[in-house]
Amino acid sequence: MNLSQLRTILEKEPGYRLGQVKKALFQDLIHSWEEAVALPLNLRDELNKGCPIDPLGKTFVSKEGDTIKALITLEDGLKIETVLMRHQDKRNTVCVSSQVGCPLGCSFCATGKIGFERNLEAGEIVGQVLFFARFLKKIKGKVTNVVFMGMGEPFLNYENVIKAIIILNDKEGFGLGSRHFSISTVGILDGIEKLAKEKLQINLAISLHAPDDELRSQLIPINKEYSLKEILDIVDGYIEKTRRRVMFEYIMIRGVNDSEEHARTLAELMRKPLYFVNLISCNPIGIFKPSLAPRMERFKEILEGNGVVVTQRYRLGQDIEGACGQLAVKNSSTSIHG
Ligand code: SF4
């Protein structure tokens, strides 16, 4: 959705139109401006031409039906992926992309393999959430959480990411509480610092994936610029300021980062109040394979035995490559941000 175009069209309208537009877009979840019956016909026509709502999206549903992936074509023809994860406890989490491609080139990531095209506009981020909100409305469901873990590094597109969150958080519009948003970063320091100063109580996650700089720099090349120590110092500053918990994501890759020694080194770093570790089974990509279940169990046991709070997540929707963007790659675009 093109927000600047929407703003231009509404500029010449009376002030109360904004409220009508917000209700139609974010609460009634219209697919097309024709459905916005509170608006005059000529305005609906103008909006349909200048600011169409429903992006071209092709959906893929996993065998279990718990993951739905959308391949969305943007106005300029580039493609992004957005994933809806339907949890058993009735939460519906939309995993959004913040960039087309990604410049950071992490070795385990499909998005990283294809390079960087451009940042997404705030309206394109909002559009991904609305896409699945409309989808869920048909089955009487609602979006309950939004995570920035799709294509791209969100803190390299900070302004648009925060702008999108503010729009989706607006009580007169979509009204999703700020605690229901999570941003996952590989550790862009100034992004973490800026987030600490925001009034919004957004969750922060760090894609860690290795317990030492040597291995982390192999997996996440930007680690050569922002070392683990620098990242953890900034995270500690963030916690001091916000008193919020921080999640450290750790993708478990067979034979790469899943030894007992890795677990013990990680435990040393993670034994802090308000830190917790989320172990994630790696999505198979190239030479990387997921750790075997007993290895993951042992890894978890060592962390917990050392006083670290641990959660575990299995990849959803592997049959539709719902967690890593390989589909978009096949369709000449992109994604994952572990
Ligand atoms: Fe970019 Fe995240 Fe993929 Fe790294 S893991 S290349 S930061 S999208």
Which H/E stretch holds residue 240?
helix 228-242
Site to probe by mutation for ligand 1, drawn from 98, 102, 280 as the one with most ligand atoms within 8 Å of Cβ, is 102
Query: How high is the pLDDT of residue 231?
Result: 97
Distance from the alpha carbon of residue 175 to the mean position of ligand 1, in angstroms: 29
Among 46, 81, 124, 153, which one carries the catalytic annotation?
A: 81
Distance from the alpha carbon of residue 139 to the mean position of ligand 1, in angstroms: 32
Q: What global pTM score does this model have?
A: 0.93
Statement: residue 336 has pLDDT above 90: no
Specify the ligand 1 atom closest to the Cα of 110: 3
CATH numeric code, 58-335: 3.20.20.70
Percent of the chain with pLDDT over 90: 80
Percent of the chain with pLDDT over 70: 93
Task: Quick: pLDDT tens for 133-160.
Answer: 999 999 999 999 999 999 999 999 999 9
Statement: residue 329 has pLDDT above 90: no
Task: Quick: pLDDT tens for 243-297.
Answer: 999 999 999 999 999 999 999 999 999 999 999 999 998 888 778 899 999 999 9
Average pLDDT value over all residues in the chain: 91
Query: 81 catalytic, yes or no?
Result: yes
| CA-closest candidate to residue 212, choices 232, 238, 234, 192 | 232
Distance from the alpha carbon of residue 129 to the mean position of ligand 1, in angstroms: 20
Distance from the alpha carbon of residue 217 to the mean position of ligand 1, in angstroms: 13
Query: How high is the pLDDT of residue 24?
Result: 97
Query: How high is the pLDDT of residue 334?
Result: 35
Task: Quick: pLDDT tens for 196-217.
Answer: 999 999 999 999 999 999 999 9
DSSP codes, 161-203: HHHHHHHHH-TTTT---GGGEEEEES--HHHHHHHHH-SS--E
Specify the ligand 1 atom closest to the Cα of 109: 3
Task: Quick: pLDDT tens for 54-89.
Answer: 778 899 998 888 899 999 999 899 999 999 999 989
Q: Which residues contact 119 (CB under 8 A, 6 or more apart)?
A: 98, 99, 100, 152, 156, 157, 160
Specify the ligand 1 atom closest to the Cα of 104: 6
Site to probe by mutation for ligand 1, drawn from 147, 182, 186 as the one with most ligand atoms within 8 Å of Cβ, is 186
Query: 117 catalytic, yes or no?
Result: no
Looking at ligand 1, which residue's alpha carbon is closest to its atom 4? 106
Are the C-beta atoms of residues 94 and 125 closer than 8 Å to each other? no
Distance from the alpha carbon of residue 67 to the mean position of ligand 1, in angstroms: 21
Among 95, 102, 109, 324, which one carries the catalytic annotation?
A: 324
Distances from the Cα of 104 to the Cα of 155, 192, 217, 302, 303, angstroms: 12, 17, 11, 31, 29
Burial of 202-224, coded b for 16+ CB within 10 Å and e otherwise, reads bbbbbbbbbbeeebbbebbebbe
Q: Which tokens in the block code for residue 34?
A: 């024709």
Statement: residue 335 has pLDDT above 50: no
Hey, where are the domains in the chain? Answer: 1-54, 58-335
